[in-house]
Structure 1
Amino acid sequence: MIELTPSKEGVLVNVHAQPGARRSGVLGEHAGAIRVAVTAAPDKGKANAAILDVLAQALGLRTSQLALISGETSRRKRVLLADITPEDAGRRIAEALPIPKPEVDSR
């Protein structure tokens, strides 16, 4: 379950970053955080900017509505989703998460 924290400006969400990936996108959930992969390398903020772009696109928000609050050099980041309610953020995140593939029993 992805943790959402209401704030005065909107909603705070934890992000687990995967820089230098083959493809960019929302991959799922990791320890209460939304897992985001980006092709950009973690160099001079390029991956952080790419993460905000991927999240904005996946959640149907403007890039200006997202701000990195903490975790600039860490895989674990806190991102502010501005001008959005926790309910709306939860719905958008749920829609952005990939549908898990059913496990196949190969007995």
Structure 2
Amino acid sequence: MKRPGGPGGNQPSLDKPKREAILDLSKYVNERIRVKFTGGREVTGILKGYDQLLNLVLDEVLEEVADPQPHTRSLGLAVLRGPTITLLSPVDGSEEIANPFLAQEQ
């Protein structure tokens, strides 16, 4: 006969409430997104899948490389690890602007 609380004890089982995702990525599936990582790497690609740890699967991935000259490098299909992501944003509807806090050179 099994005891309440699991196989080895008298402790009652506690049902933990399900954690809700902070970010709802479902509306960005099959959309191009930009991802920045710790360390400064940056990629754009089409979101194909994700999990609750924010691991992402992107297709048609382009990495922006700033070696001596800025250029892009095609990576194809890639799995991005969630813990390394620092910023995630849609590409459509956003544009890069000049930093208003930098001192204007005259």
Larger strand share, 1 or 2:
2
Larger helix share, 1 or 2:
1
Structure ID, larger Rg: 2
Scaled by the length of structure 2, the TM-score of the pair is: 0.27
Higher normalized contact order (CA 8 Å, seq sep 6+, divided by chain length)? 1
Scaled by the length of structure 1, the TM-score of the pair is: 0.27
